[in-house]
Structure 1
Amino acid sequence: MLSGSIFGFGGGDKSRAGNEGKTQISVDEFKKWLMKFDQNKDGRISRSELRDAIKSRGARFTWWRSGCAMGKADVDGSGYIDEDEINYLLRFAKEKLRFEIL
């Protein structure tokens, strides 16, 4: 079973290992986790920043997966995922990144 601390959770975070080795995390915790990868602190997630987040989950084919996730989440076609679009990533996170969103 996966431990939450392996993926940058733990300490003050409330995430925990859930069923089938998925990391249980709230929507707010997911957003905070994702924004840790906002390297330039512009409040948006680029494809390369998303790739880094996906890579931190131990996933393979990170360039391809980040492209798929951007396709689902970047609804305005800006090339970035902003605060309003993060919710579109939740399904991808559940299916491909082994998060159990609470």
Structure 2
Amino acid sequence: MSINRSVENMAKGGMSMEEFKAWVRENIDADEDGKITKDELADIIRRNGEWFAGWKARKWMRSADSNRNGVVDEIEIGNLAEFVQKHFGIKIIS
């Protein structure tokens, strides 16, 4: 499983949490409501040419959506960052 090449390039030396949040807003939050849905995650996975986008998006959501309301909001963005660090080896500096 890979993540969008732009974030891989941006994160070669690590990225700050603010840079990660900005990347998420620009690349994942399609409706710009400040909340990330499973469909938005699936869309970026699909745009990356990945297979099983729906399944992978559900996996991301299970990891990041701690209150199980179906979205990753500002409070849970740290959970999404942890998932990205763990599964993609991208260093995010707090």
Q: Structure 2, unaligned stretches of length 5 or more?
A: none
Structure 2 partner of 1:17:
12
Letter in 2 for 1:68: K
Q: TM-score w.r.t. structure 2 length?
A: 0.73
SS in 1 for 2:74: coil
Of 76-85 and 46-55, more deviation after overlay is shown by 46-55
Q: 1:28 to 1:54 in 2, by over 3 A?
A: farther
Q: TM-score w.r.t. structure 1 length?
A: 0.69
Structure 1 partner of 2:42:
51
Q: 2:64 matched to 1:73?
A: yes
Q: Equivalents in 1 of 2:89, 2:47: separation in Å? A: 12
Letter in 1 for 2:17: V
Give the length in aligned residue pairs: 89
Counterparts of residues 31-42 of structure 1 (less than 5 Å): 31-36=21-26, 37-42=28-33
Structure 1 partner of 2:53:
62
Q: 1:77 to 1:57 in 2, by over 3 A?
A: same
More helix by share: 2
- Whether the 8 Å contact between 2:64 and 2:76 is mirrored in structure 1 is yes
- Whether the 8 Å contact between 1:44 and 1:82 is mirrored in structure 2 is yes
Q: 1:55 to 1:25 in 2, by over 3 A?
A: farther
Structure 2 partner of 1:26:
16
Larger Rg: 1
Q: Equivalents in 2 of 1:7, 1:58: separation in Å? A: 14
Q: Equivalents in 2 of 1:96, 1:59: separation in Å? A: 15
